[in-house]
Amino acid sequence: MLPLTLDTIRLSLHVLAATVWVGGQVTLAGLLPGLRALGDDAPRTVARGFNRIAWPAFAVLVATGIWNLVELPVGDFDTEWQVTLFVKILVVAVAGVAAAVHAGARSRPLLAATGAVSGLASIAAVVLGIMLHG
């Protein structure tokens, strides 16, 4: 059996946090029509509950992302890899800012726009992370 290493723990925490952050957004988007049918406050109530686990997951993503960078010889990778990394960091920032604006938004158009931006940016961050790992 292979040993349990710090690398395994770091990457597992990163993937688990991404599962909560990104998977939760996708799940909430799918549940939204049904939640609206339950009443005007239902989507907001569920979103608050999600935020209690989503924001800690985002913090774990950022922390383990930084940890990943500390462990990698970033300067040894080619320019394409480094540009991809920069784009991923930018996309993660966009996802976080859009989600924060979304959490405080009250108008449906702003909720829709920031929810879409955060969700799409989060999915893009996953894809970019896979590209960096491969």
Which pLDDT score, from 0 to 100, does residue 55 have? 98
Which pLDDT score, from 0 to 100, does residue 10 have? 96
Which pLDDT score, from 0 to 100, does residue 40 have? 87
Residues 6+ apart with CB under 8 A from 18: 57, 61, 125, 126, 129
SS3 100: helix
Summarize pLDDT for 16-28 with one digit per residue, the tens: 999 999 999 999 9
Which pLDDT score, from 0 to 100, does residue 54 have? 98
Helix or strand run (H / E) with residue 48: helix 42-71
Which pLDDT score, from 0 to 100, does residue 134 have? 75
User: What does the domain layout of the chain look like in residue ranges?
Assistant: 6-133
Residues 6+ apart with CB under 8 A from 97: none
Summarize pLDDT for 17-69 with one digit per residue, the tens: 999 999 999 999 999 999 999 998 999 999 999 999 999 999 999 999 999 99
Q: Average pLDDT over the chain, rounded to whole?
A: 95
Return the closest-CA partner of residue 93 out of 126, 62, 60, 134: 62
pTM for the model stands at 0.92
For residues 118 and 95, is the Cβ–Cβ distance under 8 A?
yes
